[in-house]
Structure 1
């Protein structure tokens, strides 16, 4: 027999429920005996002892019944704490209340004879609660002494010493106690470092690396978020240096029946590590932009568009016009938005934004006041081989929407651009840059206030690198990277949409805004971290394969041209781009000539026109003359 069967514990370290129930009954009888002895100074009068044949069966029935009803035996007594003590007080008080009621009933029925002295019942309540609690504390401490001495289980560190950390510890011990052992808590609170919680030492998270150097640990689990996303990244990086698994628990609102289940403990995702500290936005300014207005969002079912929709609805728009041509994605958006927003104020519009007749009828019928234009083709390889489609959607459709907005007196038009529009090396980026120039040109003769926002990659967007890496890892690899030195900027869709709304609200017309994107991230490092977060070893379990830069792909993206510079706005995450060489003279005619090439679908002529508008642009790969 192993040590797991000592002292009445079963093979999981659990005390059988029947044993706890019987122990509680024995404690109840002992408590009553002690109460009598204390009340009568260890000399019980015969008139009271003669009633013991009725008293003690009654105590067993009442106390046993209350234990069964309230299931005091069902909990794991090694987790006894303030919450369990409160429950024991409630159960003991209920039993004492029932005994008091029976005692008073006997007094009435017998004409003045009590079964118990009332003072004995009060003493019994105090003694019973003391014995029930201290017995559980003793068994809890015995469990820690027996089971925490084992060193063959995998060590776990829990970040956070609050209620979430304790619940996580109890969950691990309850469901995985045979395999895992909590060896330490980590926290930012220096005043509790060096103290013990339930027999487990609390360490300052600043000492994490030193702790791991002397202690073998299998997993690090976040029971709460660190003070900042940057701090979380630092902690995870240290853990990955020691080839540990890094896990986290969901917010308490996601727990099942307010109880954490082991299967809710999940691996930390790379998305969590690329988030940054949010910056408060000017809600009153955004509200003045949106509240009561007719808002049109193109590309509404896409990654950025759907997040803009989610945030815009919270500012009580007068009407939402959600435009997209992706039927399935638009249907999913409709189902979700109708659960959260007034159906009468939401218009779901399936439309091709390049269809002039269709879009003109939409503008005439719905009269949008504010437009967020997020619809675009963005994937580099696809647009390299389909420049006519980039022209149709990214340039011609943007020009069409801008002219319709101007003709119908729209107040503001916010265009979502990209860092690929800066020194473009591909068709997608070039088409977005030409769209920027088109809007700046239209602004000169329009009462509508046009603005442009530029930022980098959105975490988790369709077709982006993170979902692709995740799928490659799940299928066993290899993880494919174009070049070992490729870097990219990343931003969450939530923060991007917040800043888009903020930029739109502060726009006065003709601005280009750029967002503070933080440091660019080396994609090779990103891939290695994603592999390690799954508990695998890069190069051993999952191969990383370099495929070479794709046509039109740059090693590093930029957010501004060399002739541009920025000036701060009142939001530290948004800067206004100023251009020393900005001039749209002659651009209108060139763009008009470019749009005339669309019916011919001649890729060579389209690309030549791109280069005429953007002198520095050269197409990176040969394209067939005709599709």
Structure 2
């Protein structure tokens, strides 16, 4: 029958007291066994056994179901306190009754530190045995850990104590000079970032695990480059908040993705500002079935709106948005509204019936080459559709209206950009007219949005087809869907009537570099084909238009610019189309 760890430790501690007091007595009486009072010795051993049990339970040394853990200051302190108290009590007893019991008070002064050293030694040895028995097996992949902070040390502790771990740490990489030549949980620090290639060759590592909570896209691109040169695969850890809350688990480690290489640090948003205009309010989202609209609904739901109304003409997209927010796709709820923003009367009636207080207008046609072929559709959806939503919002006395715009509206050269620019002007006019927070938010390409570049590249790579890139020098701004939505929500809390708020997109990214990195990560030999810039397409996108003055009075990643306004009665389809003709002519002249 296997003895539980707690009981086994207690038996060992009692045996240690027996041994410590015996050795102490022998030393005290200079190996003269006739001088030792064996009755007193047995009595003191019995006293030690009883006291050790009492104080061991008080200090949680023998609790049920305990394991030999890695140990630390708390464990050492608990053992020291228990042994110290037991030894002190027995020393006081020997001091008071030593003469009658024929035991010297010096015995306990010798026995107590000896017993403490043995108790700590036994526990330390047991933990070493257990830890060595739990090390990853020979089938695990040797790994270098990049980062010696909280995440990295916890990752190593988990690996070294889990025999099922698929990875075996063979070295740590960190630029901190204080960690040079140290060992972290018996794993050596083998160098700095510049030493990764040499360390990989020296240790035989096959994997490089990034355990830096603040790793941004710049660092991760450097990591991928050095990993490619070293023949290492790359894994990344979740943010430190996840590790602190949930610990480290095998499922936390994931492959480095192209989103990691393009994305940036998590956005810092002021929750109180967002909650102030969303919590307890009726919120409506147009285009709720799209990538941005669906994520907006998911984020808005976290702030406790009184009602969240998801509107779209795409029933499948609405079902997915409903699943994200409510966990089911039954579509038998008035939380979803099937409607088209091109139908003004129906839209106005919906707004009057549901009385939203906050509106996020994300419905739009967004594919640039498609709208170059069908500019009339851009007019009907992006221009007239936006006007319909604005009029319905005004009729329903909507307090806050956020129009989702695009960087292509800055100095527009395409049908898409010009249609969204007009939508910004209309929104600005309604903001100035109503004196309510009717504003636009402008940002660039969103990583992973439906029909965007990355999903297209992924599919082409999966099908072993060439990646099509318009121009070798083309660059674009990128941000993740959650980042874009968080900044849109923040903009709604700080924006003022008629403004255009411009999200900080960081540095523009080379499309060719993205394609080459995705091919490298796939391990395939895929060709890149240059197709040339399409009609209306820019080589480099802009976020701020000519004549727009921006400042950042409230948030470091959100710029405010005064919008040019356009009254609805001045809206002219012929003017819109003629403007497109002028843009096309200017573009052709520029290309000559």
Both proteins in one fold, TM over 0.5: yes
Assess if the C-alpha contact under 8 Å between 2:515 and 2:528 holds in 1.
no
SS in 2 for 1:558: coil
Aligned residues: 545
Distance 1:257 1:274, change over 3 A: closer
Give the alignment partner of residue 615 of structure 1, picking from 558, 570, 582: 582
Structure 1 residue 201 and structure 2 residue 188: aligned? yes
Could you tell me which runs of 5 or more consecutive residues in structure 2 were left unpaired when the two chains were aligned.
28-32, 47-55, 87-106
**Structure 2 residue 556 is matched with structure 1 residue 572:** yes
Q: What is the distance in 2 between the residues matched to 1:202 and 1:71?
A: 32
1:548 aligned to which of 531, 542, 560: 531
Q: CA deviation at 1:374?
A: 0.7
Assess if the C-alpha contact under 8 Å between 1:409 and 1:447 holds in 2: no
Given the two structures, how large is their TM-score scaled by the length of structure 2?
Answer: 0.73
Alpha carbons 2:281, 2:306 under 8 Å: kept? yes
Verify: 1:405 aligned to 2:393, yes or no. yes
TM alignment of 1:237-386, pairs within 5 A: 237-250=225-238, 260-278=248-266, 280-281=268-269, 283-338=271-326, 347-386=335-374
**Which digits, 9 at most, give the CA deviation of each residue in 1:151-197, with x for residues without a partner?**
x9964221333454344224445667998552322345443333222
Aligned twin of 1:41: 26
Q: Which position in structure 2 is the counterpart of 1:590? A: 572
TM-score (norm 1): 0.69
Q: 1:226 aligns to what?
A: 214
Question: Where does 1:158-173 land on structure 2 (aligned, <5 Å)?
Answer: 158-162=145-149, 164-173=151-160
Deviations 1:358-410 (A, max 9, x none): 21111111222332211112123444455444333222211111122233333
The gaps in structure 1 that reach 5 residues or longer are 1-16, 55-62, 97-117, 595-608, 622-627
Distance 1:176 1:529 in 2: 34
Separation in structure 1 between the aligned mates of residue 165 and residue 363 of structure 2, nearest angstrom? 53
Q: Note if contact 2:467-2:528 (Cα within 8 Å) is conserved in structure 1.
A: yes
Q: CA, structure 1 residues 391+194, in 2 after alignment: closer, same or farther (shift >3 Å)?
A: same
Q: Residue 497 of structure 1: which of 476, 485, 494 is its match?
A: 485
- Mapped partners of 1:347, 1:177: distance in 2: 46
> How far apart are residue 513 of structure 1 and its match?
2.7
- Deviation string, structure 1 residues 474-498 (Cα, Å, up to 9, x no partner): x363451323333211012333223
In the TM superposition, what is the alpha-carbon distance from 1:218 to its structure 2 partner? 2.5
Alignment CA distance shift 1:254-1:441 (3 Å)? closer
Please list the CA deviations of residues 309-342 of structure 1 after superposition, one character each: whole Å capped at 9, or x if unmatched: 34434545444332223323323433443479xx
Q: Cα distance 1:612–1:32, how it changes in 2: closer, same or farther (>3 A)?
A: closer
- Give the CA RMSD over aligned residues: 5.2
Q: Are 2:119 and 1:129 equivalent residues in the alignment?
A: yes
Q: Which of 465, 480, 498 lines up with 2:453 in the alignment?
A: 465
Partner of 1:417: helix, strand, or coil?
Answer: strand
SS at match of 1:415: strand
Q: Deviations over 1:415-436 (max 9, x none)?
A: 1111223454544334323333
In the alignment, the residues of structure 2 paired with residue 323 and residue 141 of structure 1 have an alpha-carbon distance, to the nearest angstrom, of 57
Check conservation: 1:512, 1:577, Cα contact below 8 A. Answer: yes
Matched residue of 1:323: which SS? strand
Listed one character per residue, the Cα deviations across residues 438-485 of structure 1 (whole Å, up to 9, x for unaligned) are: 444556655555322221011221222223334444x36345132333
Name 2:405's counterpart in structure 1.
Answer: 417
Matches of 2:399 and 2:309, distance apart in 1? 15
> Secondary structure at 1:450's aligned position in 2?
strand
Q: Tell me if the contact between 2:375 and 2:415 (Cα under 8 Å) persists in the aligned partners.
A: yes
Give SS of 1:615's match.
Answer: helix
Q: What whole-Å deviation, never above 9, does each CA across 1:42-68 have from its counterpart, x for those lacking one?
A: 7476669999xx9xxxxxxxx9xx999
Give the structure 1 partner of residue 94 of structure 2.
none
Shift in Å at residue 132 of structure 1? 2.0
